[in-house]
Amino acid sequence: MIEFFKALQFIVENGIIVITIFIFGSYAALALFSAAAMLRYMRKNSFVDYRVLLSSPLAPSISVIAPAFNEGKTIVDNIRSLLSLHYNDFEVIIINDGSTDDSLEKVIKAYDLEPVKILYEEKLKTKPVKAVYKSRNKAFSKLMFIDKENGGKADALNAGINLTQKEYISAIDVDSILIEDALLIMAKPFLEGKGDKIIASGGVIRIANSCKIEDGRITDIRLPKRFLPRIQVLEYTRAFLMGRMAWSKLNGLLLISGAFGMFNRDVVINCGGYNTDLVGEDMELIVRMRRYMAEHKEKYRVIYIPDPLCWTEAPSTLKVLTRQRDRWTRGTMESLFKHFKLFFNPKYKTLGLLGHPYWFFLEWLAPIIEFIGIVYFIIIAILGYPNWPFFFLLLATVYLFAVTLSFWAVLFEELSFHRYKRRREVVKMLLTSLLEPIFFHPVVLFSTLRGNFKFFTGEKTWGKMERQGFKEDENNKKEIKEVEGETPEAVSK
Amino acid sequence: MKNRIAMTIKSLTILSFLAIMAIVLAYFSSSKAWAQQPLAANSEMISQAMPEIEESPAADSGQTAIAETNGRVTVKNLWKKFVNRYQIASLKVKILVVIIIYLLFSLVLLFIFIIINRTIKTRERKQAKNIRETYQEELTSYLFGEENQVFEFTGINHSFNRDIFINELLSLHNNLYGEAAIRLRDLYFNLDLYKDSLRKIDKRRWDIKAKGFKELAQMDVKDSSRQISKYVSSRNKILRMESQLALVKLNEEDPLFFLDDFKYELTEWEQINILNTLRYHEINIDSFERWMDNSNDSVVMFSVKLAGLFKHIQSWPKVLELLEHENPDVRLVAIKTLDMFEIAENTGPFIEIYMKEQWLEEKKDDAFYNIYMDRNRLAAIHALKSVATADEIPFFEYVLKTEKDFNILKKAVGILLEITPGGPDFVDQAYERADPELRKIIENTKQIAAQ
């Protein structure tokens, strides 16, 4: 029996160390890949003139599709902001997903809408569309407003996809703020495909808490004043600039944020559109699209753009944050298990040999192993056998590695887009990096474990979300939005 | 700035590597335990050296934790006891200590670098802003001053200032026409700034070369075209595109000569940029037919698109031939271009191409083949919109009977409703014998047409 426990001890301790080294190595490798990719991207785009797309008859057509649920307080401004995007051949499709507030009345009045007859093919099954509206005012001719029964974000997006005839669709959260050139920048990679089809592109999502916003535009970029959103700035910077950039380079990107992404319409429809039964529909669609292309032996790429094109509000309370992360975990698990066929399957090349296993081990399994490690340590601590110096050394290593990664992320941001201009903001970010592993990581770990528990117990709800509006920091006034059941949620991974 | 990113990454990588090496060497060379005994035998050797020690249940992966029981209490002994108790000298611990020292070193280095970089960047930005404003004022004075007046531009011999000056001059030139633009170009030559641009072409970095191409093309330095044309088939796609754009501008006699032997795929982004250059500089090309037989399909498609956009209606027989091309993308571009020509005689070819572009059962596993067929048939039907007459009603009858694609049916009904005389009457008759889906399409299309 003692031999058995010694063997178990050996396996657990050494296993955790090996996995830790593997995780460190993976992050370091991704950071290096990202650095190389960023450098090339910055050089490549230093003299690109995106305006050529504005007037070119060869520019592709784009449909911006934005589902909205109970967004009455901000929907009129949000639509105005979308209509003022710089692009020539584009339309804005807003889907009112059975809102129970006054969204519909407000939009009808503000944009002088009238119901129109539109004949379209329901290639993707959705909840019934009640009416389609267009403006009498020619200034808003690019706007189409769909009023439908509530079916969730994925269902609303599918309804929008059914109605559009444009070549590319851009799925966005209606309350996200896009920079004016977002479509121009996002469309470019689709035009650069050589032999391989660009099936999707995604951009960096930035956090807009505490930024100054006027008329649906960010006029002054500021670091969030509150601790929790500020930590997420670091987290997003790490994930987007150091992670996804590398995955794009390796052609292994599995996720394009639901807050802003662009897709080839034909491929989306061929794949069956967004899956309405899942909470992580954005990731699952990309995995399915990639799988579809690989199975049909078509060359393809999913592109990631590091430019800060989309700004969104990050959760500023622990309650909302844990719900969001819990849902992200379930979304990740849905995609990983639904497409488990990809796991180390050479037929799918990078997707099967690198992308899926990476997400499996590092995004799903790593927090579970971390939890096992913690439980194991608590047990040996209670039994009185811990090797304290080794424990503290290991803890210090992990802590310092996490902080170093964040420092690198800050450096990436400084050398690339340099959006936070004030020196004190940079110092604040660096100091926040020191606190993140202590205060933020445990919360994320807890949420992830809860997500795992809910996934295995079969819970599929989005959960009740409470979000604070962008104006909160300016006016110290809370705008609470309540979202029940399986309704759209703005802050997407 | 891009240079600085590269330098930073390189220097931090080298420093990190040196730091790791230094820490590892320093740490292990100073460790007697490492130098004197293999780790695998570590606990065994300690046991032999200290017979009085007692074993206790270990926390560290099956190794023996040792506690010293005898001996004088000195700092050295206490440390030894501590080391033995917790196996401080084990390989795992040594590795962790090395990593910690390295990470601490990196953190300090990164912190200092980020702060210094921020300070330098802020200073440079302010400096650049001031210099830019100065040059803007000086260039405006130059433009509105006397023609023969001698102008001195502040600190132009300094490379940092000179770069800013070139950028300002080019930016101003880009927004001006006529006499003012000519004066700026003269200034560019008088100050020998073209030599700076030419030097850029010889640099190793491709982004600097590309910048040089842009400057030389904008200032119309025709002598540089030979140097630039070396890069027209470069493997670096950005360098290749920038050289093409420069040559479109500089090579007036044959702006698109590089398409003759172009071996790469001409991306849509390249096509858009070339078209933009042609349009912006109002460059005329007599005929695009020369490239319609090219073995490179992307070149063929681009030339056909250009023929359509520049209304080279005389090219229609050549474009018509391309309806037989094996590549469905080429056929689509040809249909759309013929549609743009709006030639009434074109109904025959459109009907013919519609009949050819049919679904193939054996291609059902191909992800896009049948989509291309639908798309091309739709384009052919769309092209009939402006030229169809009552003579085409039998063809539309065939379409309504056989077609499965929703969008094509919708388009066909829409066109029929506009054909006078006879179109609307035919639609009413077709409605009577239509299946429920087609009936729905007809009903809705009629309602939409009435809106």
Is the Cα torsion angle A384, A388, A390, A392 positive or negative in sign?
Answer: positive
Provide the pLDDT confidence category of residue B305 given band limits of 50, 70 and 90.
Answer: very high
B299-304 mean pLDDT = 97
Q: How far is B389 from chain A (nearest CA, A)?
A: 25
Residue in the block written with tokens 């991207």: A41
Kindly report which listed range (A101-110, B8-17, B94-103, B206-215) carries the lowest average pLDDT score. Answer: B8-17
Provide the pLDDT confidence category of residue A357 given band limits of 50, 70 and 90.
Answer: very high
B47-53 mean pLDDT = 40
Q: Hey, are the CB atoms on A116 and B6 less than 8 Å from each other?
A: no
Q: How far is B284 from chain A (nearest CA, A)?
A: 17
Instruction: With a cut of 80, say whether residue A492 has pLDDT above it.
Output: no
Question: Is the Cβ–Cβ distance between A67 and A487 less than 8 Å?
Answer: no
Mean pLDDT of chain B: 82
Question: Is the Cβ–Cβ distance between A62 and A32 less than 8 Å?
Answer: no
CB B445: neighbour CB atoms within 10 A? Answer: 22
Q: Helix, strand or coil for residue A416?
A: coil
Instruction: With a cut of 70, say whether residue B112 has pLDDT above it.
Output: yes
Q: Hey, are the CB atoms on B118 and A388 less than 8 Å from each other?
A: no
Burial class (CB in 10 A: 0-12, 13-18, 19+), B204: exposed
The whole-number pLDDT of residue A480 equals 31
Q: How far is A122 from chain B (nearest CA, A)?
A: 10
Provide the pLDDT confidence category of residue B60 given band limits of 50, 70 and 90.
Answer: very low
Q: List, for residues B269-284, the tens digit of each pLDDT value.
A: 999 999 999 999 899 9
Question: Is the Cβ–Cβ distance between A468 and A316 less than 8 Å?
Answer: yes
Nearest residue in chain A measured CA to CA from B9: A35
Beta bridge partners of B395: none
State the Rg of chain B over Cα. Answer: 38
Q: Which residue ranges make up each domain of chain B?
A: 2-124
Q: Hey, are the CB atoms on A194 and B88 less than 8 Å from each other?
A: no
* A115 contact partners, CB below 8 Å, separation of at least 6: A131, A132, A133
Q: Which residues of B touch A192 (CB under 8 A)?
A: 267-269
Provide the pLDDT confidence category of residue B34 given band limits of 50, 70 and 90.
Answer: very low
The CA distances from residue A414 to A432, B111, B122, in Å, are: 16, 12, 11
- The fraction of chain B above a pLDDT of 70, given in percent, is 80
For residues A108 and A111, give the distance between their C-alpha atoms in angstroms, rounded to a whole number: 6
The whole-number pLDDT of residue B90 equals 72
The CA distances from residue B248 to B188, B197, B285, B287, in Å, are: 21, 18, 11, 15
Restricting to A residues 145-174, those with a Cβ less than 8 Å away from any Cβ of B are 165
- The fraction of chain A above a pLDDT of 90, given in percent, is 61
Q: List, for residues A58-104, the tens digit of each pLDDT value.
A: 999 999 999 999 998 889 989 999 999 999 999 999 999 999 999 99
User: Which of B272, B197, B15 is closest to A57 using CA atoms?
Assistant: B272
Phi and psi angles of residue A92, each rounded to the nearest 5 degrees, phi first: -115, 120
A277-298 mean pLDDT = 93
Question: Is the Cβ–Cβ distance between B40 and B33 less than 8 Å?
Answer: no
Mean pLDDT of chain A: 88
Q: How far is B185 from chain A (nearest CA, A)?
A: 21
Instruction: With a cut of 80, say whether residue B201 has pLDDT above it.
Output: yes
Q: List, for residues A13-46, the tens digit of each pLDDT value.
A: 778 778 888 888 888 899 888 988 888 888 888 8
Q: How far is A55 from chain B (nearest CA, A)?
A: 8
Q: Is the peptide bond before B421 cis (omega within 30 degrees of 0)?
A: yes
For residues B30 and B35, give the distance between their C-alpha atoms in angstroms, rounded to a whole number: 8
B113-124 mean pLDDT = 89
Interchain CB contact of A122 with B (< 8 Å): no
CB B443: neighbour CB atoms within 10 A? Answer: 15
HSE toward the beta carbon, residue A263, CA cutoff 13 A:
31
Provide the pLDDT confidence category of residue B86 given band limits of 50, 70 and 90.
Answer: low
A234-245 mean pLDDT = 88
For residues B345 and B362, give the distance between their C-alpha atoms in angstroms, rounded to a whole number: 34
Question: Is the Cβ–Cβ distance between A469 and A73 less than 8 Å?
Answer: yes
Q: Hey, are the CB atoms on A426 and B121 less than 8 Å from each other?
A: no
The whole-number pLDDT of residue B66 equals 40
User: Which of B345, B343, B299 is closest to B325 using CA atoms?
Assistant: B299
Kindly report which listed range (A473-487, B108-122, B140-154, B370-384) carries the lowest average pLDDT score. Answer: A473-487
The whole-number pLDDT of residue B107 equals 94
User: Which of A454, A493, A443 is closest to A330 using CA atoms?
Assistant: A454
Restricting to B residues 409-428, those with a Cβ less than 8 Å away from any Cβ of A are 410
The whole-number pLDDT of residue B27 equals 52
Q: How far is B371 from chain A (nearest CA, A)?
A: 8
Instruction: Return left, alpha or beta for B70; rule: phi > 0 is left, psi -120 to 50 is alpha, else beta.
Output: beta
Q: How far is A52 from chain B (nearest CA, A)?
A: 6
Interchain CB contact of B67 with A (< 8 Å): no
The angle at the Cα of A310, spanning A309 to A311, to the nearest 5 degrees, equals: 130
DSSP secondary structure code for residue A128 in this structure: P
The CA distances from residue A304 to A24, A205, A249, A301, A328, in Å, are: 23, 11, 8, 10, 20
Interchain CB contact of A382 with B (< 8 Å): no
Written as one string, the DSSP assignment of A145-211 is EEEE----HHHHHHHHHHH--SSEEEEE-TT-EE-TTHHHHHHHHHHS-SSSEEEEEEEEEEE-TT-
HSE toward the beta carbon, residue A380, CA cutoff 13 A:
21
Provide the pLDDT confidence category of residue B26 given band limits of 50, 70 and 90.
Answer: low
Restricting to B residues 137-196, those with a Cβ less than 8 Å away from any Cβ of A are none
B67-85 mean pLDDT = 63
* B254 contact partners, CB below 8 Å, separation of at least 6: none
Provide the pLDDT confidence category of residue B88 given band limits of 50, 70 and 90.
Answer: low
Q: Which residues of B touch A59 (CB under 8 A)?
A: 272
The whole-number pLDDT of residue B9 equals 60
Provide the pLDDT confidence category of residue B348 given band limits of 50, 70 and 90.
Answer: confident
Kindly report which listed range (A60-64, A110-114, B389-393) carries the lowest average pLDDT score. Answer: B389-393
For residues A314 and B341, give the distance between their C-alpha atoms in angstroms, rounded to a whole number: 53
Provide the pLDDT confidence category of residue B42 given band limits of 50, 70 and 90.
Answer: very low
Provide the pLDDT confidence category of residue B20 given band limits of 50, 70 and 90.
Answer: low
Q: List, for residues A473-487, the tens digit of each pLDDT value.
A: 443 333 333 332 333
Beta bridge partners of A102: none
Of B86, B96, B273, the CB nearest to A388: B86
Q: Hey, are the CB atoms on A390 and B114 less than 8 Å from each other?
A: no
B179-197 mean pLDDT = 90
Q: Hey, are the CB atoms on A121 and B406 less than 8 Å from each other?
A: yes
Instruction: With a cut of 60, say whether residue A307 has pLDDT above it.
Output: yes
For residues A86 and A76, give the distance between their C-alpha atoms in angstroms, rounded to a whole number: 19
Q: Which residues of A touch B208 (CB under 8 A)?
A: none
Interchain CB contact of B371 with A (< 8 Å): yes
Question: Is the Cβ–Cβ distance between B376 and B336 less than 8 Å?
Answer: no
Written as one string, the DSSP assignment of A58-86 is TSPPEEEEEEESS-TTTHHHHHHHHHTSS
The whole-number pLDDT of residue A418 equals 85
Of A118, A387, A414, the CB nearest to B86: A387
Q: List, for residues B221-268, the tens digit of each pLDDT value.
A: 998 999 999 999 899 989 999 999 999 999 988 999 999 999 899 999
Provide the pLDDT confidence category of residue B335 given band limits of 50, 70 and 90.
Answer: very high
Question: Is the Cβ–Cβ distance between A292 and B367 less than 8 Å?
Answer: yes
Restricting to B residues 203-232, those with a Cβ less than 8 Å away from any Cβ of A are 205-207, 210-211, 214
Written as one string, the DSSP assignment of B280-316 is HTT---S-SGGGTT-S-HHHHHHHHHHHHHTT-GGGH
User: Which of A285, A302, A356, A321 is closest to A124 using CA atoms?
Assistant: A285
* B239 contact partners, CB below 8 Å, separation of at least 6: B206, B209, B210, B231
Which carries the bigger pLDDT value, residue A440 or residue B67?
A440
Task: Quote the ipTM score.
Answer: 0.86
Instruction: With a cut of 60, say whether residue A246 has pLDDT above it.
Output: yes
Kindly report which listed range (A76-80, B33-37, B117-121, B364-368) carries the lowest average pLDDT score. Answer: B33-37
Six-digit token pair at B253? 């006699």
**How many contacts (CB atoms, under 8 Å) link A and B?**
171
B281-310 mean pLDDT = 94
Instruction: Return left, alpha or beta for A377; rule: phi > 0 is left, psi -120 to 50 is alpha, else beta.
Output: alpha
Restricting to A residues 189-218, those with a Cβ less than 8 Å away from any Cβ of B are 190-195
Q: Helix, strand or coil for residue B188?
A: helix
* A372 contact partners, CB below 8 Å, separation of at least 6: A12, A16
Provide the pLDDT confidence category of residue B45 given band limits of 50, 70 and 90.
Answer: very low
Q: List, for residues B127-185, the tens digit of each pLDDT value.
A: 999 999 999 988 888 888 776 677 788 888 888 889 999 999 999 998 888 888 898 99
Q: Hey, are the CB atoms on A404 and B269 less than 8 Å from each other?
A: no
Nearest residue in chain B measured CA to CA from A49: B273
Kindly report which listed range (A184-193, A220-229, A238-247, A283-292) carries the lowest average pLDDT score. Answer: A238-247
Q: How far is A17 from chain B (nearest CA, A)?
A: 9
Six-digit token pair at B183? 């004066």
Q: In a mutagenesis test of the B interface, which of A34, A268, A387, A401 is the best target, namely the one with the most B β-carbons within 10 Å?
A: A387
